[in-house]
Chain A
Amino acid sequence: MSNTVFSLCGMCTVRCPIRVEVENGQVTWIEGNPHILDGALCAKGSAGLALLADDERPQQPLIRRGGRGAGRWEGVSWEIVLDFVAEKLKGIIARDGARSVILSCRGGPFIDPARAFLKALGSPNFTDHDSACGRNVHHASLSVYGLGRVDLAYDIKNTKHLVLFGRNLLEALKVGEANQVLDMLDAGGRLTYVDVRQTITGLKATRFFQVRPGTDYALTLGMIQGVIKAGAYDQEFVSRYSTGFDQLAAFVEPYTIEWAAQECGIKAKSLHGFIDELGEDRPKVIFHPGWMLARYRDSFYASRNLHLLNVLMGNIEIKGGQILAKGAKDCGKKGIRNLVDGIPQPTEKRADGVGWKHTRFDKGPGLFQLFYETMQTADPYPLKSLFCYRHDPLTCFPDPAAQKQALDHLDLIVSIDTHYSEFGWYSDVILPESVYLERDCGISIQKGPKPRLIYRRQAVAPRFDTKPGWWIFQQLAERLGVGQYFPYQTIEDLWAWQLEPTGLTIADFEQKGFVDLADKPVLLALDKLANIYKTPSGKIEMVSEKLTKEGIATLKPYASPLKPPEGMFRLVFGRTAVNSHGHTINNPLLHELLPTNTLWINKREAVKLGISDGDWVDVSADGVSGVIKAKVTEFIHPEAVYCIHGFGRQVPLQSRAYHAGLSDQKLQVGLLNDMDPVGGGLCLCEGFVEVRRSSNNLKRSVEL
């Protein structure tokens, strides 16, 4: 018996659409959905088969019996574990109220049941990982357009010039996007890449700026000045749709190209050449405003400038530019129903202070790291429980030791995940979710120029005693007396309930795995363009009215980043196409390709420290240290060292990943409280580490 299932990949958070072949209950083939990706899939996507076959994942619900992190687990049934969690939670809510419960997740299209569960309990404290990811970009976008980070899509395929500041999109990979970039290059488009080191994306670039770490803001200031001075911007677009241009122009005047080139350590001539190209290529130029930009103290401002450069190009709602993400309404259709919409809004203020103490931030998921302080101070009120759904804060946020100190103030920590995360290992309870090939998910809308409804479909039965998230939250809700907000018993019930207003049925998804809401990309007519911005002024704000009211300078004078002391380096991190996040490090086939990470160090600096390529080096910061092999290269800035994120895992049951490589987040000592004050993102690249040749290197050869 063989059949085909259309679904969504779950190996990273991109969730590429896939087609899965199943024979006699076994997955035999996974490829990119031919209707969207023409079969294309990355290494991680194929390694989903190895994930499925891997025994080194939680196989049944686990309750902690020893100390936190000691790894003494008792395997129990779902009935027992759900009763256990519900009883604990009831006690906590009776004593400290529902507001003492926090729930975090990794965001994405399928978080509705998780959000609904917390909202139904009556807690306002929903959060996610985004302060270690795209929060700065999101807040920058809000301050310019009044629209969020995902409200604008990039038509990379049809652009003439793509400008990337460290957005290493051929390694931190979205299969569809990578193909768009290569199609654009095949058609003769230009790619300008800015980074502190060379990457695979940089290899494909037509222009490469290797900048001093922490100077992105300087470079964007120089670019804005250069563009305005050369008149290489869309004056009509700017005057019609934006405010504050004169202030911006006056502000950037001292930040000349020559100044920026000197500050960033690049050639002024090349920067002039770049500005000339913009003049030729606009309006079909896209400055990518960044994705994972929780890096420097001024990352918000760097991202904001990239948004402004897009505005100067006049690239909005045109082919080859930025296109507003459309929803069901824009296509004249009715949207799906979501569980959260039917639940009353909790009245309590958030424990992270977002929305009342920190009014400059978007309320949405708040800022996770601020909960850690509240856990310890109980101000504004005590926090007692944390649920993390598909989220591993101990890997994603800096300084796990500091995080654990805060977590120790909680009475109940629950991890709901497919694998043993570092957080799961420290939790009180692990509720194992079935891996993506073994579970269904609800229906979600994927907004974009051409929006569609998507779902994830179970391909095979779970190998172990694991359950899907939609079921786990419904079961917990029932036990806590809020089951009325979860009007389903089976996934079919949930799909039917979600689809009811649309007139569609689940059968409409089966042929392709999705339902298009439009036949072709929906572009707004030019006369509608004036009404789309949700800023206070209703225009694109080069100087933000909201931030000005908060007493925050939108046009912030540049401050040069600190130079690391002798023998020390700024620790930067990144991704490869083989592993996006920590949770795939232990995958047998991906581990075979990339068993560990290395420390990139500049050749000249390595010579000074007596380090040769392949030597073991000790990397340390404030009492924390790790050992890793050096990769000596001239293609990284001398002030920085680099490693791939996600390694150095400490879960003994992940035998392949256990202690393999170096963990960057452990070396980010003290950075948990270091936040971009305007963007809310963490400053993960603001730490220095000391690098020394390790005593682990062999000194003699004792054996024959």
Chain B
Amino acid sequence: MNTYLIYLNSKRCIGCHGCEVHCKTNKSLPVGPILCEISHEPLRSARGVPKTVFSFRSCYHCEDPQCVPVCPANAMQKRADGIVHVDQEKCIGCMACQNVCPWSIPQLNPVSGKAIKCDYCLDRVDLGLKPACVSKCTTHALKFVRLVEV
């Protein structure tokens, strides 16, 4: 079972796209891949105020991810805590993972020639820190949640 989740409190989200840049700079990504995404529905009037809701998407870290078995190099892995990540040493950049993912979440890093995706910044998580997008969220709208079985 997955241990973690990134949750967006859309009441606090101001759609500033800070999370996307926090993520990119932490992973030293060039122009091209963006690993998380803020989006919103078209505006609709609610009691005289045009409103919309922001949503956040990165990787769903599926319980049974299709990207893991399809990887010919065993680079795509799912950890015991549920985090799905790419071992950059092993990845050969074939992008089979992207093709098989229903949301095309893994992306090609044009500089390294390898696949890259949201891994909840597992190096930070292992140090007891939060993912970059959550740590630096402009309005503290993103939360890194530890799931508990009840």
Contacts and interface: CB of A to CB of B under 8 A. Distances in A.
Interface of A: 29-32, 38-43, 45-47, 49-50, 170-171, 173, 175, 178-179, 182, 185-186, 198, 200, 202-208, 267, 270, 577-578, 588-593, 633, 635
Given A43-B18, A46-B18, A198-B43, A30 B49 contact: no
Interface residues of B, number: 28
A185 B11 contact: yes
A46 B132 CA distance: 10
A369 B140 CA distance: 41
A42 B16 contact: yes
Interface in B48-91: 48-52
A14 to B, nearest CB: 12
B34 to A, nearest CB: 8
Given A42-B138, A592-B31, A578 B16 contact: yes
Contacts of A179: 139-140
Given A50-B25, A198-B43, A40 B139 contact: yes
B25 A38 contact: no
A41 B139 CA distance: 8
B135 interface: yes
Interface string B1-43: 0000000000110111110111011100001001000000001
A179 B31 CA distance: 29
A186 B139 CA distance: 12
B50 A635 contact: yes
Contacts of B34: 592
B50 A589 contact: no
A41 B136 contact: yes
B21 to A, nearest CB: 4
13 contacts: A40-B137, A42-B138, A43-B18, A43-B21, A43-B22, A45-B18, A46-B136, A47-B21, A171-B16, A175-B138, A179-B140, A198-B43, A203-B49
Contacts of B139: 40, 178-179, 182
A205 B14 contact: no
A589 B15 contact: no
A574 to B, nearest CB: 14
A204 B40 CA distance: 14
9 closest A-B pairs by CB:
A577-B16, A46-B21, A43-B21, A208-B49, A43-B18, A170-B14, A198-B50, A46-B25, A49-B25
Interface in B115-150: 135-141
Contact of B18 (A41, A49, A171, A208): A41
Contact of B14 (A49, A208, A270, A577): A577
Given A39-B136, A40-B140, A593-B21, 6 more contacts: A43-B21, A173-B138, A182-B139, A202-B50, A270-B48, A577-B15
